[in-house]
Structure 1
Amino acid sequence: MKNTLRRIALSLAFAAVAGGSAVAQSHLRVGLAEDPDVLDPSLARTYVGRIVFSSICDKLFDIDEKLNVVPQLATSHETSPDGLTVTIKLRPGVKFHDGEVFDAAAAKYSLERHLNMKGSFRKPEIASINSIEIVDPSTIKLILKTPFSPLLAQLTDRAGMMVSPKAAEAAGDKFGLKPVCAGPYKFVERVQQDRIVVEKFADYWNKDQVFIDKITYLPIVDSTVRLANLRSGGLDMIERLLATDIKTVRDNPKLKLISAVELGYQGLTINLSNGPKAASPLAKDARVRQAFELSIDRDALNQVVFNGEFVVGNQWINPTNPYYQQSLPVPKRDLAKAKALLKEAGVSGRMSLDMMVPNSPETRQVAEVLQSMVAEAGFDLKIRVTEFATSLKAAEDGDYELYLIGWSGRSDPDGNSFSFQACGSPQNNSGYCDKDVDEWHKQARIKSDPAERKKIYENIAKKYLADGSIKYLYHRRVLMALSDKIDGYKQMPDGLIRVVGVKLK
């Protein structure tokens, strides 16, 4: 821990020296729980990456506290009666960090890059777009293949982030090393596993609401070290405070806690058909997966690891979400039934399973509690702690049987389900594929009436919760701990750190 604290102090000192005259400027220091992956909106896939993007890459739309879609780089939108055309008016007077003008041509370029770039994780999110037309310099028209009700929600995240065409063309697949967007802050430098530095963009379209000169993001995996640095003044804000540390923050008059229930979920992904590690009875027999789930006590898990502060769940949206299926409540632990199902499936003796776990104190503790619970039913979990970005690559390669991983969530339920459940989707690392589920997803994407959509999602949930590849366990509270020097900070349910409007005393 001493070495980690010293490294952070050195990083901050270096950043101050590198800033030269910027030493006297306001400087927000944010402790992240992991180091982000590539800083390219088309290729990125980590939650912490989205936190950094929220300061450097504005989107066409954003969300408010009630999950309403609100304008950002767009000013308005209009959908045709048949749902096949979406016309978007763009904000005038916007510049990218390299001085290039943001206009309809740049918006068209950015969206087509998301759609066509090799390895893009945004493609399935906006694949309903057939073509993009420039109506005039401040208007684009999206021509859709079919009506797609989640489209605007998708454009409130990375799929809606706009990049400088000039910079993107020059950098190619190296764009993520020095991203150039149109956000309130411009990228300065990155040292892997050490820091990401951004500074205020003088020509930002909403610059009157940007009050902090520089932000340094410091990846600190150890939550105890993150909190220690916040308490000592080495950091001004930390994300993913441990639930067990809530009291410590509440009892400190120099700190404050801001929280919201996350849009996403935390769960266990089971490798069903991605490579040799999908050969176990767990992958091949839904009864074994059901037995595994029945050996888990979600309420006890929440109490032991999170002091009961989180929200137990069994679906891809939390129980307060209007799309939650009340007809499919969280299953209670039933060891007798679990053992009977294993016997029915022909499983005898203890079943050894490789469980990949990203390296953080909470996920390790969750893994250990799960290991103890499922052991009583006959499952022998072998915990393999892996650096976070490395675990994502291993999941793509199918190098796991079970993967303890979550999803930070989207405002529309489609953003929490389709990419993980639809056949061949890029985030579907488990290899799950079901024609009925795919067809229902298509129907849910066409319908705009919430009641109709909820009924379709009930069909998906009935089938997927029974034999799918993800066992949803709980929904975190987004726990942000801040110095009392920070004013004006609001926490949205998506867990991102929005810095516009925030002041540092």
Structure 2
Amino acid sequence: MQRTTARPPRRALRASAALLLPATALILASCAAPATSDADATGDPVAGGDITFARLSSPVTSLDPHDDTLITINAYTLDKVFDTLYALDEEGEPQPSLATSYEVSDDGLTWTFSLRDGVVFSDGSAFDAADVVYSIGRHLDLGGALPLGAPIIGVTAVDDHTVEIVLSEPYTPLLSELSVFSSSILPEDLAGLDEDEFFADPIGTGPFTVEEWDPSSTELTLARNDEYWVEGLPYLDTVRLTTVDDDNQLVQQVQSGQADIVDDVPIANVEELEANGDVRVQSVGSWNQDIVFFNTTSDVFSDRGVRRAVVQAVDRDALTEATTFGTGTPARTFIASTIRYSDQDVDALEYDVDAAKDELAASEHPEGAAATLLVEGGSQSRAQQAQIIQASLAEIGVDVEIETVDSATFWTRFPAGDYEFALSTTIADTGDPDNVSSWQVDGDGVTQAFYTYYDNDEVDALVKEGRITPDGDERAAIYSQIQEIVAQDSPSLSLDYVSEIKAAGAHVHGLQLIPNGTVRLENVWIDPQS
């Protein structure tokens, strides 16, 4: 699904789908731990130690992967406690985790997963196929903030270490969907506990367990899972997850050593942090984009011509240069350039003030219009973007009032359609284009085109076709066509594609960044000499 910076009821995009392979093709097992992205680490990793990880987000409110109110910080905690069958690597590609391999039948309807042997949950109980069947079944029943889109009609345990998933029609993004937090594997029947009891102190196969957590608190402490199936990992004893109120606190805490790692580094401070020898800045090409959404049911933006006028009035090149400090690139399509089948050569509307004025003159608002831009607060760069948009639209006769609200308010009003147009940051959960198109432009989708209420029958049909088409040239052509139609209809305005940027003390090594914003901590170790 796809998300946003403080990210909404969890995230609205899906990505990086594996190839739809014939039954004879087998993805071989990989027992090694995921590679670390820390190129500066020297010497052998050292076990032990405690770190503090500060984030600019809300406190953890739930550890249930199928909670329908799940927000980003919850989701980014789940992958520390639970594993999935496959897990995304630093390129955003699914790699073996609790499953070692899979096969797909020739008709694309039956996926057979071989499970890793010798894995136990944090309470010492054995992991087997029954846990997978239960977990996928629970996910299908409850849906949650990131429901399975796959048309699953059966999940069975062939034996203790083999699971078969049967679909009603081919579905290329399945492996990607099984690689994100919402597809976490829980013990069968929650180990005999009721939901409240289980999720207060969850049992998982991930690298960490929950040591201390009060849902009313801004902190959660994770401890090493001594039963973790990767020998020798994790290195750390504990990880304290905490939250801060704004960008300035993030920067101050990592510079002072109060936090060992900080999330969502403000782009305005990247150069400052890179110049600090006590801090290491890491980034990865992400599935992020800053984006303006038009409520196509509103009086002003129900008019296609007004939307097109707005798109052509905003100089994305200049805006990106002014607001991302070299960490972003101008956007051309709603599918970020790092996601499979993004077509950066699509026939998109270009910056052209005269053309924008002509579009507005031919619209139902030829004398100009007034609209309120709802802005998710908390980001200096987003506030600057809003001001640039306001000034740009004034040039063509569109009067913009900026209304900045906190993340909680934004993600209450935006999904309810209580806005005219809105500015936020979204991020895909996987690298497969269906993750984006299903949530952002599919009028029949669960989010009604990500709360823009855009509905184009041709786009809807193409989105469905893209899901069932195996990876290759034919699938690429489908997504190019979708992007071209959407670019002309303009239900949204993608401003830029931005990187995932984290910062850590120079003593911290082994931090692994995933393009969907996830941070893997099992390989993190502390250099006692730093």
Using structure 1 for the length normalisation, give the TM-score. Answer: 0.87
**Change over 3 Å in CA distance of 1:37–1:331 after alignment to 2:** farther
> For residue 88 of structure 1, what is the aligned residue in structure 2?
113
Verify the 8 A CA contact 1:489 1:502 in the aligned structure 2.
Answer: yes
Q: CA deviation at 1:193?
A: 6.4
Of 261, 266, 270, 1:246 maps to: 270
Aligned positions, number: 474
1:65 partnered with 2:84: no
Secondary structure of 1:199's aligned partner: strand
> For residue 169 of structure 2, what is the aligned residue in structure 1?
146
Of 334, 339, 345, 2:357 maps to: 339
1:327 partnered with 2:348: no
> For residue 108 of structure 1, what is the aligned residue in structure 2?
133
Of 252, 270, 285, 1:228 maps to: 252
Which fold has the larger relative contact order, with Cα–Cα distance below 8 Å and residues 6 or more apart in sequence?
2
Verify the 8 A CA contact 1:33 1:219 in the aligned structure 2.
Answer: yes
| Counterpart code for 1:220 | V
Distance, in Å, in 1 between the alignment partners of 2:506 and 2:410 is 36
> For residue 220 of structure 2, what is the aligned residue in structure 1?
196
> For residue 367 of structure 1, what is the aligned residue in structure 2?
386
Q: CA deviation at 1:386?
A: 2.4
**Change over 3 Å in CA distance of 1:393–1:299 after alignment to 2:** same
> For residue 476 of structure 1, what is the aligned residue in structure 2?
498
> For residue 7 of structure 1, what is the aligned residue in structure 2?
none
| Counterpart code for 1:78 | E
> For residue 10 of structure 1, what is the aligned residue in structure 2?
none
> For residue 351 of structure 1, what is the aligned residue in structure 2?
370
**Change over 3 Å in CA distance of 1:456–1:342 after alignment to 2:** same
1:53 partnered with 2:78: yes
Q: CA deviation at 1:236?
A: 0.5
Per-residue CA deviations over 1:364-420 (Å, capped at 9, x if unaligned) read 232222222222222233322222233223222222222222322222111122122
Which 5+ residue runs of structure 1 have no aligned equivalent? Answer: 1-23, 273-277
1:128 partnered with 2:151: yes
Using structure 2 for the length normalisation, give the TM-score. Answer: 0.83
Per-residue CA deviations over 1:272-291 (Å, capped at 9, x if unaligned) read 2xxxxx33221x11111111
**Change over 3 Å in CA distance of 1:481–1:127 after alignment to 2:** same
Per-residue CA deviations over 1:233-266 (Å, capped at 9, x if unaligned) read 1001111212221211111111111111212322
Verify the 8 A CA contact 1:58 1:72 in the aligned structure 2.
Answer: yes
Per-residue CA deviations over 1:11-52 (Å, capped at 9, x if unaligned) read xxxxxxxxxxxxx96211111121156432223554433322
Secondary structure of 1:194's aligned partner: coil
1:255 partnered with 2:274: no
Verify the 8 A CA contact 2:150 2:171 in the aligned structure 1.
Answer: no
| RMSD (Å) for aligned C-alpha atoms | 2.4
Distance, in Å, in 2 between the alignment partners of 1:329 and 1:318 is 15
How is 1:235-314 mapped onto 2 (pairs within 5 angstroms)? 235-272=259-296, 278-282=297-301, 284-314=302-332
Q: CA deviation at 1:148?
A: 0.7
Verify the 8 A CA contact 1:313 1:330 in the aligned structure 2.
Answer: no
Verify the 8 A CA contact 2:324 2:498 in the aligned structure 1.
Answer: no
- Greater fraction helix: 1
Of 465, 468, 471, 2:487 maps to: 465
1:443 partnered with 2:465: yes
Of 418, 424, 430, 2:438 maps to: 418
1:495 partnered with 2:517: yes
Verify the 8 A CA contact 1:355 1:381 in the aligned structure 2.
Answer: no
- Greater CA drift, 93-102 or 286-295: 93-102
- Greater CA drift, 392-401 or 78-87: 392-401
